[in-house]
Structure 1
Amino acid sequence: MKLDILVLAAHPDDAELGCAGTILKHAAMGYKVGVIDLTRGELGTRGSAEIRDKEAAAAAEILGLTVRVNLSLPDGFFENSREHQLPIISAIRQYRPEIVITNAYHDRHPDHGRANKIVEEACFLSGLRKITTEIDGAGQTEWRPKQVLHFIQDRYIHPDIVIDVTEFWEKKIESIYAYGSQFHNPEWEDEPQTYISTPEFIHVIEARAREFGKSIGVKFAEGFTSLNILGVNSLFDLKP
């Protein structure tokens, strides 16, 4: 199965928080979009890995994903090593995306910056034919995505590009709240309160999107960074 866009994120709910509007927008345009969660988020204070699995599946339905899978790397302890690179390389070769989106360069949660680094390198290594990987016993062909973008998370990073997601904002919020164990939910009052489970946290997400939206004259936008210089075909493609 070939995807147009593949989001490779550290935890279930990272994709929803970081780029759900962009996922929804491109799915609505007919592009095939998938999400691969590197870990099951088993170290999270609230809920469990099994609950997060169900929540991720519910969010995938809301987002209209073509595919969502989990690599089950160790939450909090995955490393930029050959052992943990190879499953990511195999996934890139399996789905052959044109564009990969991953976590922020650096962030409050150390897994996010580590995921950024391991995915960025895996996208390059996936194009080296002498690195061998298999799926279902068959060898895989090398593949390198054309573009790797990083969404912006808790810590502010100046974006290289912002995308208008106003039309899809309410659906993005719905996908976030599919994770009832993680975000504000009166039914989980007996669980410990965390930074992201407070009612105020979603206001932070909205404020960031409004700030990025204001920069291009729309209500809500999502920001992305890139290690590469981004180009356009015409000056008229630029939005003030």
Structure 2
Amino acid sequence: MGSFVFNLIFENMKTDILAFGAHPDDVELGCGGTIAKLVSEGKICAIVDLTKGELGTRGTDETRKVEAMNAAKILGVSARENLGMKDGFLENSEEYQMRIVKMIRKYRPEIVLANAIDDRHPDHAKGAKLVSDACFLAGLRKIETVVEGESQEVWRPKHVFHYIQWKDIKPEFVIDISEYLDQKIEACMAFKTQFYDPTSTEPVTPIATKDFYESLTYRAQDLGRLSGVAYAEGFTTEKLIAMKNFDGIVW
């Protein structure tokens, strides 16, 4: 299956954050505010979409491609790639694991952000586990990968965090996105064929309703209320996080 690449800097860049989504728009919906904030702080961020979202009721894989590129520019990420896996049929196979291993070794992120560990769409939980396993495998020296004739060096991210999507999963920590909610929503709405548009003649889906559009704000607002900020995005973590000190905590 084909893939496409959007790269604003250079090949084989060292990133701080690599965000994976089972479908184009997953990253924007789940952690778009966090990505926008990190970019503003000078972090190098990239996005890898596992599928083209070709089974989506509205739009096509070609419109998704254009929309994904527009969203990437809004967020300010340095690169975005699509691995062309089969939408609706993600599986934790060796083939798919190795595609992701190559991405991890290419971008060498300190932190990986991945789909929700449990969600309405079966690809989300499958994508979460697939990415998590690939992050471990990418650090094994006896797994060799070659890209364009060159061997890749092993790399294992320090952390894998999972953003929250449709289901109301209790976060283990939140990121304050108070100044970046508008940018997140703009990036989400770059997928204009997918979301609320009262003039659209396409079938209405659960994510194409006015309520879903409004949920982008009120869900972030609720997490902000619970954590003492205006708006926040929540994450779960695969391992216990150790803090050097209390700097960075919002009081």
Q: TM-score, normalised by structure 1?
A: 0.97
Letter aligned with residue 194 of structure 1: T
**Mapped partners of 1:71, 1:63: distance in 2:** 20
Q: Give the SS at the match of 2:81.
A: strand
| Aligned residue runs from structure 1 range 43-122, under 5 A | 43-122=55-134
Letter aligned with residue 84 of structure 2: S
> Is the CA contact (8 Å cut-off) linking 2:181 and 2:217 kept in structure 1?
no
Q: Give the SS at the match of 2:196.
A: coil
**Mapped partners of 1:106, 1:9: distance in 2:** 14
2:152 to 122, 132, 140: 140
1:109-166 CA distance string (max 9 Å, x none): 0000000000000000000011111111111111000010000011011111101101
Cα offset, 1:236, TM superposition: 5.0
Give the percent of matched residue pairs that are identical in Structure 1 and Structure 2.
49
Unaligned runs of 5+ in 1: none
Paired residues, number: 239
Question: What corresponds to 1:3 in structure 2?
Answer: 15
Determine if the alignment matches structure 1 residue 124 to structure 2 residue 140: no
Cα offset, 1:186, TM superposition: 3.4
**Mapped partners of 1:144, 1:32: distance in 2:** 17
Letter aligned with residue 206 of structure 2: Y
Letter aligned with residue 215 of structure 1: L
Computed over aligned residues only, the root mean square deviation of the Cα atoms, in angstroms, reads: 1.0
> Is the CA contact (8 Å cut-off) linking 2:33 and 2:177 kept in structure 1?
yes
Question: What corresponds to 1:208 in structure 2?
Answer: 219
Letter aligned with residue 208 of structure 1: R
Determine if the alignment matches structure 1 residue 192 to structure 2 residue 194: no
2:243 to 232, 235, 239: 232
Q: TM-score, normalised by structure 2?
A: 0.93
Q: Give the SS at the match of 1:185.
A: coil
**Mapped partners of 2:248, 2:183: distance in 1:** 27
